[in-house]
Amino acid sequence: MPTSKKEQIIFGLMMCTGMVLVMMTFNLWHTGILGKLSPLEILFQFLLCFVIAFLVESFIVGPVARKIAFSLPFDKSNKILGVLVMSFFMVIGMVLIMSLYGMISAYLADQLNGVSVLGTYLHTIARNFSLALPYQLIILGPLVRYVFGKFIKSNGPIMPTVNKSV
């Protein structure tokens, strides 16, 4: 849907905001940390996670997902199928990397005492994927595309009409 670099950045910021807000809240709640953090600590966690997610999406996952999705043999003129394929690969990449970020955060907070790191990582991937994919496909993706199309794409440069009748 975005056609310029500026639009890609705005679209990415919108998607990252929605995904990070829900996924971070879900993971903090799931690990029992949500109730233990102050609002300022939660805001800090959100900002840090958002910056990392946006950079990962912009420079790693987005380009790779685009390359994979559009190298597949499907009807590229079918926009809905293109969105679904692209969303699927974006979610896979983001879940793999951001789950690793979560594991590193948990390790640094000394929350992985005596647990299998690989087992915990695989469990985290499965848990995050089970929320991220339906949330992206059913709720956030359509919402962001609607808002983006309504407010960002419609606010493009307005060309003045020239009266040629003299």
With bands split at pLDDT 50, 70 and 90, how would you rate the model's confidence at 162? Answer: very low
Residue 113 confidence (pLDDT): 87
CA distance 47 to 63: 23
CA–CA distances in Å: residue 86 to residues 73, 89, 144 = 13, 5, 15
Kindly write down the DSSP assignment for every residue of 51-102, as one continuous string: HHHHHHIIIIIHHHHHHHHTTSSS-TT-HHHHHHHHHHHHHHHHHHHHHHHH
With bands split at pLDDT 50, 70 and 90, how would you rate the model's confidence at 1? Answer: confident
Note the pLDDT tens digit of each residue in 54-75.
999 999 999 999 999 999 999 9
CA distance 42 to 55: 20
Pair of tokens at residue 128: 């995050």
Residue 32 φ then ψ, to 5°: 80, 15
| In the chain, % of residues over pLDDT 70 | 92
Note the pLDDT tens digit of each residue in 111-154.
888 889 899 999 999 999 999 999 999 999 999 999 999 988 76
With bands split at pLDDT 50, 70 and 90, how would you rate the model's confidence at 155? Answer: low
Mean pLDDT of the region 65-88: 95
Note the pLDDT tens digit of each residue in 33-48.
999 999 999 999 999 9
Residue 154 confidence (pLDDT): 67
Which 8-state DSSP code applies to residue 160?
A: P
Residue 110, phi-psi category: left (phi > 0), alpha (psi -120 to 50), beta (remainder) = left
pTM of this prediction? 0.88
Question: pLDDT at residue 166 above 80?
Answer: no
